[in-house]
Structure 1
């Protein structure tokens, strides 16, 4: 994983690995947003140990931030180099366009797609195919404004998802009706989110030295 560009930390990779390890043989993992395959390789190796498979969904959009066809080439090369071609199935397309026509059940959902509110909320609707108690892992939660807004709307104020825990910006939810304690645990993450937004503003203003005073070092956003 360390050889592939991306923002997934070692602790977050462990969280993905452990989630797959809880699955039964024959299970399916759906990943929304694969990029060059940093997280896909973690999911794929974990899936192999339990006899599961991974469906990786990515539109490979053209543009400086996404890479388009060249990123797809890198993804496929990385999956091949990891020896996971028999475990990982690539589905190319926008998750929001694929979802209404999707019929295959799966047991674990990992969401790391487009981070605006509307796309993220739509990606959560893939959980329709999860069993009761199935897990959803969301990257950039309590870090991205769009993803956090969607989480407050659908988890804190909703009735379908229960917050479990997180590794920095990777949060874990389950398909289960929340109680008051669960909602309070979501609200308890908001100070950390506000701190992340504050750091991002400092970085946009090129105030890296000031960000360093608050414990953030380097040019990249906190993940």
Structure 2
């Protein structure tokens, strides 16, 4: 039995759904389940927080189990990143969700913070800059996750940069096993992969090609054609 302060996924989704961001309900539930499997004193590190949509999900689950969240985002200027105004929105959303005692913000580049980091991470969520070089560096944060710990990567099979880094460093690597995905949020486990694990990654490539193709169609304003591939709306698939 849970006490009266324990929140459900529905409670967390109600808090997060209205926050601007690129995370579906199914992806939120995957994050929730991974964070809810942690225990007291354990830690979550999130790379790329934006307005806090995913942070609220992770933070609410962490609050339930006595874990903590470190949110890493430099909040740089630019249309996609938002700058200082987005940081204010993030901080307001965390406060409204009652998570100030759970979430610690590190307003830094993940690539600059990583070499200084010397603490264990029990759950890693990567949703930072999507170019190949940044993702390649962000994958190195998994060195702080113990065997059996989860590493979740957003846009894993909908971004050229992210997927390229996965194909170059994870598929042939020896430290992460692919488990499953919710659309393009992929879940990995720290551990030695076998041939079947590697094949499961490669089996996602048709999905990735479909998503890249839809992005091309949207930029060519061929939304009607994109709909034939099951994509509705003007936002990129994620």
Tell me whether 1:27 sits opposite 2:16 in the alignment: no
Q: What is the CA-CA distance between 1:191 and the residue it aligns to?
A: 0.6
Asked if the contact 1:24/1:50 (under 8 Å) is kept, the reply is yes
What is the distance in 2 between the residues matched to 1:60 and 1:78? 15
Structure 2 SS opposite 1:63: coil
Correspondence list, 1:2-151, <5 A: 2-151=17-166
What is the distance in 2 between the residues matched to 1:27 and 1:214? 41
Gaps of 5+ in 1: none
What is the distance in 2 between the residues matched to 1:215 and 1:92? 37
Q: What is the CA-CA distance between 1:21 and the residue it aligns to?
A: 1.3
TM-score after normalising by structure 1: 0.98
Asked if the contact 1:31/1:110 (under 8 Å) is kept, the reply is yes
Question: In structure 1, what is the equivalent of residue 191 of structure 2?
Answer: 176
Gaps of 5+ in 2: 1-15
Q: What is the CA-CA distance between 1:188 and the residue it aligns to?
A: 0.6
What is the distance in 1 between the residues matched to 2:235 and 2:126? 21
Between 133-142 and 154-163, report the one with greater CA deviation: 154-163
What is the distance in 2 between the residues matched to 1:178 and 1:37? 32
Question: How many residues in Structure 1 have an aligned counterpart in Structure 2?
Answer: 223
Asked if the contact 1:154/1:161 (under 8 Å) is kept, the reply is no
CA RMSD of aligned residues (A): 0.7
Runs of 4+ in 1 over 6 A off after TM superposition: none
Deviations 1:162-210 (A, max 9, x none): 1000000100001111000101111110110111111111011110111
Question: In structure 2, what is the equivalent of residue 215 of structure 1?
Answer: 230
